[in-house]
Chains A and B, each alone.
Chain A
Amino acid sequence: MSQPLISAPASGGLPNPVPTGPVRLTINGETQTLQLAPWTSLLDALREYAHLTGTKKGCDHGQCGACTVLVNGRRINSCLTLAVMHEDDDITTIEGLGTPENLSPLQQAFVDHDAFQCGYCTPGQICSAQGLLNEGHAHSEAEIKELMSGNLCRCGAYVGILDAVKEVVDKQ
């Protein structure tokens, strides 16, 4: 049996893409103006326009946490928000937490506890953990595990992630 699947042409011609405009973003303490259309996600703005590639795209749908950044100190999924919605916000990415030569306490704990393997989910895990510290709700192991469950790790480094976050939580 042969069954055709014919798509209907869009009526009234194709809409033209929306023009871009200047969007002022404050990222890691520095304000910069990017030329963006409204449809650019904060994640794509960081990676493709601001060339800050430490923030990762793992699913682009808020289902993995790899794109986690801090906005005004709170962790969010940068893939599910538009860059244009953050002109007044203070955005912190993994690059703003520390550098390879000068790691933050969380970053150092992740290295010490081997809390990653491939490293792709790691910036999101660390930004998420920083958000967890800022929130101040996690103390026990069960609480840390629950509040770190918005970040998938396919390498399965969860034991190390728990140990690393716990070490920094305990020091606070």
Chain B
Amino acid sequence: MSQTNHIGKAPSRVDGPLKVAGAAHYSGEFNVPNLAYGYVVNSPITKGKILKVHADEVRALPGVLEVFSHENVPYLAWFDKSYKDQIAPGGSPFRPLHSPDITFNQQPVALVVADTFELARYAAALLRIDYEQQEHETNLEAKRTEGYAPGGGKIGFQPPPPPRGKPDQALKEATHSIEAEYAHGAQHHNPMELFTTTVEWRGDGKITAYDKTQGVYNVKNYLMGVFGLGKDDVRVVNQFMGGGFGAGLRPQYSVFMAVLATLELKRSVRVTLTRQQMFSIGHRPNTLQLVKLGTNPDGTLAALQHHALHETSQFEDYTENIVNWSGMLYQCENVKLGYELAKLDIYSPQDMRAPGAASGNVGLEVAMDEMAYAAGLDPLEFRMRNYADRDQNVDKPFSSKKLRECYKQAAAKFGWETRTQEPRSMRANGKLVGMGMGGGVWDATQQKSAAKALISADGKLTVRSATGENGTGTYTIMTQIAAETLGLPLEAVTFELGDTDQPEAPIQGGSWTAASVGTAVKNACDALGEKILKLAQKPADSPLKGATYDEVEFVNGQLRLRHDHAQAVVLRDVLQASGETQLEADSSAQPNMAKQNGYSLHSHNVAFAEVEVDEDLGTIKVTRVVSAVAAGRILNQKTARSQVLGSVVWGLGMALMEETIMDHKFGRYVNHNFAEYHIPVNADIPHIDVIFVHEDDDIVNPLGVKGIGEVGMLGVTAAIANAVFHATGKRVRDLPIMLDKLL
């Protein structure tokens, strides 16, 4: 029995004790000496120009060190490309403090730096700025006819595939058809940790930025570009991130501000955004979707059309994949997908958990529910009849796809068979009861990553890669992978991350970290393993003489022949006998394109939800959810389950309460705080069952892992919306479904 097979088990988080004891240090928690504090001032207007910044009045306050604005920022990089980060969309990135022009409300316009946080905050309140105001437009409704197809987009963006079949004719000739518009407003990521950067001045133009980011290298490259810093001048660190959900994919203005002030003042500076300012750093865009579906007499889809329009800023073409998923989730020969943006006087949207898919999934999966009813079919049966065994968007088979098993297992666990199809036909506790479902699909991708592995003579393994930990369990799963690869107990392994002194890893997003960094970690450990094997084979009497690396395995602290376990050496003995104090190996990993080329790589899920609705008062209580996910191999049952549980909470929030309201008169969000931008609380959350349907997939990557950070959110929102329809007979097509929409 191996005690060092860790992958697929459910160990507790290795960083858990630090987190529960308050000993994990987030970016605002490095109390470097002689720290000054910066407080950002934001524009109260939406469009116009700054006429004058009355900075001198504030500079005169004792303890105020400086006021930075476009009036006094030093020469910074001139070309757009210097400001472009790894996932910048097309267009010109926003440059803080660059010009007097105001292009969105809450645009950061100044930074006040003072000896204390309280003084900086006060001085920021006193800072007078004169503006010239111009008329703005922030309402997507006003731009319905002004959408445009973006030329290109950021990394990962794919324009919708061209139409296939005869989507218009097929729709016209369909036995049953539906057409409906679906909408949701802006939503904000709102991780619990505020965006904070502590920049340590190390002297001689060198800095260390402890920054809240999902990509330390992305930030480092940005800072080098913008401030003209050499690669040895700036180190970026983030070992714990208090939630990201996409908000930290791009460098935020907090890091720009803190670095600017540090370099100018030659003193360490911390900048922390307020919760209100967290509503000025990107969001899931306000989106309008039009979906048209038609069925054949046998309940198969005759036609599928899905068009989406969403907002972007005046300066960037923010893109996400909203409609593409609709061309691959179900089998349909006649498909037309459309995608457009509209420019408004707002800040650029930013990827937010399952970007694009979370939006498009609601349109598609609520429409599928409407279509099922129109065709007289059970919603689950309807999906079964339209199951896609091939990705028709690219005309390739899936490397693996166990969505059908997800449907079956989740339906059984949920008790879908007890559901009666007729809306308003189920009641309990004096309330209307509804059951709904929805499923989804997400990319399984891998990005180039590097890692370094070091083992000391006492058998302690350290592995490093500059990836991130924002709650996904990176420390834990990488520790598991490394420990299993070299046959060690978890306690003998330390995984270190989040530092640009470490080998480069991609930004942490897209659910690709497990596949990308995990493979690099495995490769680095294997490279180290090969060195250990060579050492083990040095003694003339080595039992491993002549064995290749493929013929040995590391298990239980030993290195042994796979076919003859008796031929073994103790790892620590090998290391100690070698006389080396430490062995190390570097490696990197990237997708095996040759192997993957013929396949479509995706994870899938389905969610079933039950709601109780008080018919008189419109209140909705989600009473249970079952979520089944097919995402290849699950590395850690405990942390993976938590990711899916969290995704369900997100889906519930999107369905029932999350919306950032814009007052178009001011062009300003009005509910920019946690009191009025509601995210679910404990009392909102029902019992949730999570099912993982295992997929063997050696095509997707050597670990067989597809990632689960986003896929679990899909289906949930639609399942709840569909359950509300089933309960009440009211089809609410604009999210969130708040009680007034059911009165």
Q: Do chains A and B touch in the complex (CB under 8 A)?
A: yes
Residues on A lying within 8 angstroms of B by beta carbon are: 1-10, 14, 16-17, 37, 39-40, 44, 47-48, 51-61, 63-64, 66, 93-95, 97-101, 103, 107-108, 110-112, 114, 116-123, 126, 142, 144-146, 148-162
Q: Cβ of A156 and Cβ of B132 under 8 Å apart?
A: no
Assembly CA distance A1 to B679 (angstroms): 39
Q: Cβ of A95 and Cβ of B21 under 8 Å apart?
A: yes
Q: Cβ of B20 and Cβ of A5 under 8 Å apart?
A: no
Closest 7 CB pairs of A and B: A54-B22, A156-B649, A120-B242, A117-B471, A119-B19, A118-B471, A156-B646
Q: Which residues of A contact B23 (CB under 8 A)?
A: 54, 95, 99-100
The B54-71 residues at the A interface (CB cut-off 8 A) are 54, 57-58, 60-63
Whether A14 contacts B135 in the complex (CB less than 8 A), given A61-B275, A120-B192, comes out as no
Whether A154 contacts B62 in the complex (CB less than 8 A), given A5-B45, A40-B118, comes out as no
Taking the closest CB of chain B, its distance from the CB of A16, in whole angstroms, is 7
Q: Which residues of A contact B642 (CB under 8 A)?
A: 114, 117, 155, 157, 160
Whether A160 contacts B645 in the complex (CB less than 8 A), given A58-B192, A121-B192, comes out as yes
B51 at the interface (CB under 8 A from A): yes
Assembly CA distance A92 to B244 (angstroms): 29
Q: Cβ of A156 and Cβ of B648 under 8 Å apart?
A: yes
The B18-63 residues at the A interface (CB cut-off 8 A) are 18-26, 28-29, 31, 44-45, 48, 51, 54, 57-58, 60-63
The B660-693 residues at the A interface (CB cut-off 8 A) are 673-675, 679-683, 685, 687-688
Q: Which residues of B contact A155 (CB under 8 A)?
A: 192, 243, 471, 642, 646
**Interface class of chain B by DSSP:** loop
Q: Which one of A9, A51, A61, A100 lies within 8 Å of B17 (CB-CB)?
A: A100
Q: Which one of B131, B240, B245 lies within 8 Å of A4 (CB-CB)?
A: B131
Q: Which one of B20, B29, B673, B687 lies within 8 Å of A59 (CB-CB)?
A: B673
Taking the closest CB of chain B, its distance from the CB of A113, in whole angstroms, is 9
Assembly CA distance A59 to B275 (angstroms): 5
Assembly CA distance A75 to B278 (angstroms): 26
Assembly CA distance A116 to B638 (angstroms): 11
Closest B residue to A50 by beta carbon equals B31
Assembly CA distance A53 to B194 (angstroms): 14
Q: Cβ of A117 and Cβ of B646 under 8 Å apart?
A: yes
B542 at the interface (CB under 8 A from A): no
- One of B122-130, B290-298, B442-450, B605-613 at the interface: B122-130
Closest A residue to B130 by beta carbon equals A6
B13 at the interface (CB under 8 A from A): yes
The B264-318 residues at the A interface (CB cut-off 8 A) are 272, 274-275
B133 at the interface (CB under 8 A from A): yes
Q: Which one of B57, B117, B674 lies within 8 Å of A152 (CB-CB)?
A: B674
Q: Cβ of A116 and Cβ of B19 under 8 Å apart?
A: yes
Q: Cβ of B675 and Cβ of A37 under 8 Å apart?
A: no
B452 at the interface (CB under 8 A from A): no
Q: Which residues of A contact B12 (CB under 8 A)?
A: 111-112, 114
Q: Cβ of B679 and Cβ of A154 under 8 Å apart?
A: yes
Q: Cβ of A156 and Cβ of B22 under 8 Å apart?
A: no
Q: Which residues of A contact B673 (CB under 8 A)?
A: 59, 61, 63
Q: Cβ of B674 and Cβ of A119 under 8 Å apart?
A: no
Q: Cβ of B118 and Cβ of A37 under 8 Å apart?
A: yes
Assembly CA distance A117 to B682 (angstroms): 15
Assembly CA distance A63 to B28 (angstroms): 20
B600 at the interface (CB under 8 A from A): no
Of residues B13, B243, B680, which shows the largest number of chain A Cβ atoms within 10 Å of its Cβ?
Answer: B243
Q: Cβ of B685 and Cβ of A64 under 8 Å apart?
A: no
14 extra A-B contacts, CB within 8 A, seeds A94-B21, A116-B471, A157-B646 = A2-B132, A3-B132, A7-B130, A8-B128, A47-B29, A53-B26, A57-B194, A58-B194, A59-B673, A114-B639, A118-B242, A120-B193, A148-B682, A162-B685
Taking the closest CB of chain B, its distance from the CB of A114, in whole angstroms, is 5
Taking the closest CB of chain A, its distance from the CB of B670, in whole angstroms, is 15
Q: Which residues of B contact A103 (CB under 8 A)?
A: 17, 20-21
Contact with A along B169-206 (1 / 0, CB 8 A): 00000000000000000000111111000000000000
B15 at the interface (CB under 8 A from A): yes
Closest A residue to B189 by beta carbon equals A154
Assembly CA distance A120 to B191 (angstroms): 9
Q: Which residues of A contact B131 (CB under 8 A)?
A: 4-6
Closest B residue to A62 by beta carbon equals B675
Q: Which one of B54, B243, B641 lies within 8 Å of A9 (CB-CB)?
A: B54
Q: Which residues of B contact A64 (CB under 8 A)?
A: 192, 275, 674
Assembly CA distance A157 to B649 (angstroms): 8
Assembly CA distance A19 to B533 (angstroms): 67
Q: Which residues of B contact A59 (CB under 8 A)?
A: 275, 673-674
Q: Cβ of B129 and Cβ of A159 under 8 Å apart?
A: no
Closest B residue to A98 by beta carbon equals B21
Whether A119 contacts B242 in the complex (CB less than 8 A), given A48-B117, A94-B22, comes out as yes
Q: Which residues of A contact B675 (CB under 8 A)?
A: 61, 63
Closest A residue to B687 by beta carbon equals A159
Q: Cβ of A100 and Cβ of B18 under 8 Å apart?
A: yes
Q: Which residues of A contact B471 (CB under 8 A)?
A: 116-119, 155
Assembly CA distance A142 to B193 (angstroms): 27
Of residues A16, A44, A97, A111, which shows the largest number of chain B Cβ atoms within 10 Å of its Cβ?
Answer: A111
Whether A149 contacts B682 in the complex (CB less than 8 A), given A16-B62, A118-B242, comes out as yes
Whether A110 contacts B20 in the complex (CB less than 8 A), given A1-B135, A14-B61, A17-B122, comes out as yes
Assembly CA distance A145 to B688 (angstroms): 14
Of residues A39, A54, A161, which shows the largest number of chain B Cβ atoms within 10 Å of its Cβ?
Answer: A54
Taking the closest CB of chain B, its distance from the CB of A144, in whole angstroms, is 8
Closest A residue to B637 by beta carbon equals A114
